[in-house]
Structures are given as C-alpha cells and as structure tokens.
A and B are shown apart, each in its own frame.
Chain A
Amino acid sequence: MKKLYLRIERCSGCKRCELACMDEHRDIDADKPRTRIFVESINERPVPVVCRHCKDALCVSACMAGCMQKDQNSGIVSNQGYLQKCVGCWMCIMACPYGVISPSDNGAMVDNASFAQALKCDLCPKKDTPACVSACPNEVIELRDIQE
C-alpha cells in the first residue's frame, strides 16, 4: 500500500507541495483550488500533515453516501471515481483524526447544480509520483510502499 512519508527536518516551509497539489486537482476544485497537503507549523517550524490512507479508515466508515472508499489494491482512500457520489455532508471531515479533509467552496451546493465536495489526498492517480513529492525541492516527502 502506498503512503507518504515525511522527514520534517528537511522542510523549509516553502509550500511548493501545496501549490502543486492545488494545481494537480484543478479539475475537481473548479473555481477555487484547494490543497490536500497542509504545511502546518509547530512554534514556527514547518510540519507538513498528510493523509495516511488508513487501514479501517474512519472517513470511510463515517461516509453516509458510500463514496469514500479504500481501494483494495492500491490502498488509496478517495471519495472520487465511484458510482456513489459525494454529497458534501462533511461526515468524513468530522471523522478524520489528522484534519486533512476539507470542504470545497459552498457555491456549488447553494446553486443546486451539484454538491460541494469533500476534498482529500488521492495520491494523484494520474501520475507515477504524486505532485507534492515531485514539487518538493528538499525531498521532505517520499512515496513508500508499505505492508499494512
């Protein structure tokens, strides 16, 4: 199962990972790009926080639409690409202990055209290497294959 692994002492807080993440997901985010990796800080030292694509993920159990699923082969936890569609109920946001799921802009929900979406890391399925990993100039983020 693929997971991101972090060496925080190498992080300079440049946030290029966040920008690359926003750019990579432009098609889902439409007008308001959002990052799925978060460069947080502890006493002004940067610490990226990422999705762990958990085993027995709480976001999956909390999802009342059934769209949040863990792919049995890749291990990727995502609410996109399934028959069930995200309706923006935010149960996953309430369930995620790492705080790495965020709501898309509310506009979509209000004008009735579609639902606002819960946005989270999908490990960039269209790429061999996730955008954040490629964008990091300091090799903070590594993609590892781990036995769960």
Chain B
Amino acid sequence: MQRRLSTWLLLAPAGLWFAVMLVLPLCFVLVFSFGQREAAGGYVPAFTFEQYANLPARWTAFRNTLTLAPLGTILSLLIAYPLAYFLAMRADPKWRTMLLILVIVPFWTSILIRSYAWIFILGGQGLPALVDWLGFGSIRLINTPFAVLTGIVYGYLPLMVLPVYVSLERLDKRLLEASADLGAPPLQSFLQITLPLSLPGVATGCMLVFILLMGEFLIPAMLGGGKVFFIGNALVDLFLQSRNWAFGAAVAVTLVAIMLVTVTLYMSLMRRLGGAREDVSLM
C-alpha cells in the first residue's frame, strides 16, 4: 500500500505534465481537425472530413518530409557510425573525452546562428563562387534539397553519434578477441559481433533523429528558402499566416499518425533483428 502510494507520488509530476501539455493539446487538435475555417480565419466547430479530403493540397510538404527525413536519418547514420566507431574503438582514451566534447560543441550555439553560417557557405558568395572560380561552371546550392540535407546532417549528427558511441563503448572488447581467436578476420568480426551488438545504439539514434526531423521546420525554412519545405513549415504557415486552424489541425494529426505507424513498424523490426534480447534495450 505504502509502496503504491509512493509510486503514484513519483509519477504524479510527469503524469500531470504529460496530461496537460501533451494529451490535452492533442485532443484539441484532433477536435479542430474535424472543424471548419471561419471566413476571417480561425475555427468554427463542425464535424466534417473536409479538411482531411483537402490534404493533397499540401502534398509537396508531405513528400519532402517523407523523403528528406528518412534520407537525412540514413545519411547521419552513415557519417555518425564511423565517427562513433573511431571514438569508441580507436581513439586514444586520453583524448576520447576531448573529442566527444568537440562533437557536442556545435550545440553550444543556437541552430539559428549555425544555419545562417550555412546560408553564407552554400549561398552565391560561398561554395558555388569557389567552384566557379576553379572553373567547374556555376552551380546552385542554397534553396535546394541538397542544402536542406546538408543542414539536417550537420545539425543532427551529434544526436546520432552519442547513442552509437555509447553502445560501441559498452561493447566488451574481449568478444572481439574471442572472435579473432575463433578465426574471424577483422571485417567478419565487425559484421558478426560489433555491428549486431551496436544495433541498439543505432536504433536509438535513428529514432531520435527521425522523430525530430519529421517535425523540423527551421532548417528547411532557412536553407530551403521556401522552395524545399517540410510539414513543419506548412503548419507554421497554416496556423500563423493563413490562420486555417482546422486544416492545420488535420495536417498535424496526419503527421502524428504517420509517425506512430513508422515508429511502431521500426521498433518491431529492430526487436526482430535483435532477437528476443533481455539485456539490451531498444530505445
């Protein structure tokens, strides 16, 4: 009895927070999404599927998000894994902490300022000017999907590096000696031992980056220049500019639904890959 009370007390603050800040707004959004738009903007209560039927109007935002978010996640992983591997397995332990801090250093300044930096690098006076000067012709980088992807990978890399690093760092190095002892060359040891045992970290990193990317709006707004926009940008537009709350709510609900489905699928896939492991958590 005592025990149960203390459990409740421990959970109360977080539970309350979730109820008020997450569940309640979600309910509002859900209700709004079945409503209608007032002529001057805003919301008129109704029960109609009109807004959902209208979703294809924002098809480009969905397409951009649903291609660039997974692509960005995969690119981040491809760059983060070797880096995390180097940090965990090869780097001199003396330097390891220093190098890890270097990975996190970009977080010390706002993503806004860092995106401005990228605007200059990718803009007309930056890389394209250099390429032109070298005689490779003129290219356009800013306001392209490439620019958005660059910004995404740059901004989210630390989030991917850290969980992968932790899982590699925790890996018992004696297992690799055992693998070599049993006749596996280094590449085979990596594929059969290191990679499967670091999957939990990979799963966590991908999940973190993917979920955040699905809601991203700052990077596409700044590096996509209104040409490459995400669902996040559509939401900003619908709620704040055109004040079409009902339609905005429908877009938001659809986004949440897509995320729920992908995350669930992904988790069950990871669980299958990792076997029914008890000792390793997936998230």
Q: Are the chains A and B members of one assembly?
A: no
Q: Which residues of A contact B (CB under 8 A)?
A: none
